[in-house]
Each structure stands twice: as structure tokens, then as C-alpha cells.
Amino acid sequence: MHVLVLGAGVVGVTTAYYLSQQGCDVTVIDREHNVACGASYANAGQLSYSFTDSLAKPDFFAQLPGLLLGREPGSRLRIDPRLIAWGLRFLTQCTPRRAANNTIGLLSIAMRSAELMQDFMQTVPIEFSHRVAGKLILLTDKNQLRSARKSCALKRANGCITDVLSREESISIEPALAEINEDFIAAVYSKNDAIADSLQFTNGLRDYLESSARVTFRHSAQVRAIETEQRRFKNVALECETVSADAVVVCAGVGSAELLRPLGIRLPIYPVRGYSVTLPVADASPSASFTALRRRMVIGRLGDSVRIAGFADFVGNRTDGDKQRIQSLLRLARDIAPGAADYSVPDHRPWAGNRPMTPDGRPFVGASTIGGLYLNTGHGMLGWTLAHACAADVAAAVMR
């Protein structure tokens, strides 16, 4: 069976791996010159298996005025009709029941993904700076603390152990927190969460798959259309040729909605822009990853580097503010955690990219309404975390 995978980010390449494990011949097609050129390139590196809390939750209503008035430094909005339509669907998910259901749904995927990652590392000999570092979410007020306790209780009831620790307990786990300039009162701690380099992973897995002779990569190949006949997948039209196959899996991130719209498949995916810098380690670099929740910033150690990532900007596909936002992130990190990294280096390895967010936070995984066309897209900020489980699920759907 020959399957096309559209998209060579961490989700697409992991999908190719699981399809090849099922005995399929796979061709991965991407418009970029290499794998992992989009959201997988320099994300936060977090394998946040325990931190799957829905972004759409009742607390969001209290944040909405500040967002609309530009008073939330961790997020920017540029209102347009597409964001309004997406945002109204997002707001319908901000009820206690739906927020809990979405969190549990994502948690189930994430916990399976963690198990599959362990199996993968025993099978595939690639290095990608994987480390079970543990993760701390810093809480700065009583509202955050109350919400965190409810979330931990919900997760505990569904088989995931996370704890709310005092400030003192948090510092005993990660002494670097004693030196930061953030007045946190407690933290959520998940000791089994990990950090790893998704770019290293995707490059290493690409090399492994190419050596298997079952997977071929087609780079710098722009998809013009997915063509069908009688509501069944027929082929993919590139700029200069047409590629036929038995099935296709769309793993194109924020580009998925545009690819599928001509087929009558309308996915509510909106690009949420994030940013990162990567710096050398310093004497006070943390061992555990930590997130300054109210700042929308995460700091974690990746091998000999420190990845600082943050913000969630709803600005469509615009890139004109990237330089300013990266500078804001760098200033914020230096102010809050001056000893966490070596800020003196001239090259901060800046990055900006879009995450494909759905209103309820859940990805689209499985068969579409068109025969032979499958989806694995819309993972939001959890693409790296959910990659293995979603790839295994869509590969199983293709084989069915």
C-alpha cells in the first residue's frame, strides 16, 4: 500500500514512521527544503504529558477584556473575520464541563504518547536530547492556585499524578527557582514530564526512515490540490506533476485548512504564533523545565543549550512583529531568570512559528469524509507531546 503524507514536521514524519511499521510504502511531501522547518523547528521542546489543560476554560472570560485592550503582554490580537469566527467557537468551549472533557481527552492521548515514546526509543537508535526533567508550572495568585488544584484532582482521577507544591517545596526540587525574579506562591509539579529536541528527532527519524527504503521524502514540492473522484482520493497535484497513491494523510499544520477547503472539509484551525531563543547554558541553568504561567514563558535545558519560548499571538499569518516579540521575550527572560542562560552571546538563534490551534484544543485524527483521505492535524501547542499517539492512531485508521 502506497500512502502520501503531506507535511514533514514532527507530526508528519512520525506518521510516516508508524505507517512504515504497518508495512506501507510512504512518500512524504513538503514545500520546504528540509524536515521540521515550521512549528517543529525550535519549539519549547516540552513533552508535557501531564500539562494538557484546555486553553478554553471558564477562567478565560476574566482574561478577555485585557486581551481585547492589549493589556496582556503574553498575547497579541489582530481582529479579523477569521479570528472572530474561530473565537466564537472557542468561547463555546469555555464551560466547566467542556473544559474538563477537553482536558481529559488530551490527557488520554498524551499518556499513550508517553508510552509509545518509550517503546520508540528502545527501537530506533537516534539521539534527540531526550531527558525526563520534570516540569514546574509557577503559580502567582490564589485564582491560579485554586484552578491548579482542581486540574490536579481531575488528572489524578484519570490516572495522571501531578502535585501542587509550596514555593519552598518547588525550590527544593529546582534550586534555580530561588534566584528568579518571579513572586510565585506555589507550583504544579509533574516529575515524569520530559524535554527533547523536536528538530533533532525529526532529522534523525528522517535519516532512519530513508535508510529503511520504505519512506521517500519529496522536499521543495508545493501541493496545488488534493484531487478526488466520486468522493474518493485520487492523487495529489504538485506544481509540475501529479502523484498517485492508495491514500493520503494531511499533516500540514496551519496549512491543512486551506488544502482541504476546496474539498468541502472545513477545519476550524487558527494559527497561534509563538517565539523562542536558544542560548548556551550558564551556572544557574535549571535542570527541570519551568513555566512562568502568567508570562506565557517556558525555560528548559536541551543538551548544552537553554530553550526559552513563549507567547501566544493571534495575528493570523502576519510576521511583521516577529523581531519585536522576540526581543520582548529575551528581555522578559533576562529580567525574570538572569542566571538561567548565557545572555551575552551575540546569536540568540531566534525563531517564530505558527501552531495550528482548534477551538477545543483537540487535533483532528483519523478518516475524513472522503474515502482514502485521512487527517492528523490541529495539535496546537502540543504537537510534539501528542505526536506518537496521533501518528499511531492515524496509521491504524489507514490500515482499517
Give the predicted TM-score (pTM) of the model: 0.96
For the chain, which domains are there? 2-399 (3.50.50.60)
Amino acid present at 78: R
Q: Would you tell me the crossing angle of helices 10-21 and 383-399 to the nearest 10 degrees?
A: 40
Question: What is the arithmetic mean of pLDDT over 137-161?
Answer: 95
Using alpha carbons only, give the angle 222, 228, 231 rounded to the nearest 5 degrees: 145
pLDDT band at 213 (very low <50, low <70, confident <90, very high): confident
Distance CA 354, CA 378 (A): 11
pLDDT tens per residue across span 15-42? 999 999 999 999 999 999 999 999 999 9
pLDDT at position 67 over 90:
no
Residue 103 CB neighbours (<10 A): 22
pLDDT tens per residue across span 356-372? 999 999 999 999 999 99
DSSP letters for 54-65: -SSSTTHHHHHH
pLDDT at position 69 over 90:
no
pLDDT band at 93 (very low <50, low <70, confident <90, very high): very high
